[in-house]
Amino acid sequence: MKTVYFITSNKGKFLEAKKKFSESEINIIKKDLGYPEIQAESLEEVANFGIEYIQKRFDKSFFLEDAGLFIDGFNGFPGVYSAYIFHKIGCSGIIKLMEGLEENNRKAHFKSVIGFKEPNSKPELFIGEVYGTISKKPLGKYGFGYDPIFIPDGEEKTFAQMDTVEKNQFSHRGKSLNKLLDFFKNGKIETFKSL
Ligand code: IMP
């Protein structure tokens, strides 16, 4: 069985990836190497920097992921600052900031950027997005981060009211992981050619 490493310290992200990979013949291992999350304009820049950093220290096939929540009523904030803002004010702080905002401005999207690197080939980025609304109160016990306040379009539950398999069907990460798995299946990468 082929193996790919997911460079992350986030158990929630890893669980989601592990579920997705269970549909494939690729083994996924969590590797908590840590890399600097630079202050950048885009998630893509953060992911590319992470790849640069890790590839100098780790010589196996790996991917990492940077994600963010972009709220329309705040012109896309917290976006690339999502981790910092979550740490500072959490879901309840976001809900408080949004009090009084019109329904339209409660619209938001999550974006996931996966950066994959295999020794001796160029890095690849895979992007997934999900559009939805910020709820008026936190709901649900599953997931992590902003999951209790995000309701994907067409649904009535927050991500935190969905188990991993259900969240993966809608989520930004589910979509970027699908693209990564398609890339593997299409045999573009030497290591995964025989799959
Ligand atoms: P990062 O990708 O680890 O930098 O995540 C940025 C911030 O967004 C962190 O606070 C995460 O908890 C949050 N976040 C990332 N992905 C998700 C998700 O799928 N659901 C909810 N929050 C997320």
Tell me how far apart the terminal alpha carbons of the chain are, to the nearest angstrom.
9
Contact 106, 73 (CB under 8 A): yes
User: pLDDT grade, residue 102 (50/70/90)?
Assistant: confident
The pLDDT of residue 100: 83
CATH class of 2-185: alpha beta
- Substitution candidate for ligand 1 out of 69, 111, 149 with most atoms within 8 A of CB: 69
**What ligand 1 atom has the least distance to the C-alpha of 66?**
2
Per-domain boundaries in the chain: 2-185
Helical ranges in the chain per DSSP H = 11-21, 43-55, 82-97, 164-170, 172-185
| Pair of tokens at residue 50 | 């992470």
Say which amino acid occupies 136. Answer: K
**Residue 146 in contact with ligand 1 by CB distance below 6 A:** yes
The pLDDT of residue 195: 47
Mean pLDDT, residues 118-125: 94
66 among known catalytic residues: yes
pLDDT in tens, 126-173: 999 999 999 999 999 999 999 999 999 999 999 999 999 999 999 999
The pLDDT of residue 193: 52
**Residue 167 in contact with ligand 1 by CB distance below 6 A:** no
The pLDDT of residue 189: 58
pLDDT in tens, 173-194: 999 999 999 999 887 555 555 4
**Residue 89 in contact with ligand 1 by CB distance below 6 A:** no
- Residue 187 CA to residue 43 CA, distance in Å, equals 26
Query: 3-class DSSP state for residue 103?
Result: helix
**What ligand 1 atom has the least distance to the C-alpha of 172?**
19
- Residue 50 CA to residue 192 CA, distance in Å, equals 22
The pLDDT of residue 191: 57
- Residue 39 CA to residue 180 CA, distance in Å, equals 25
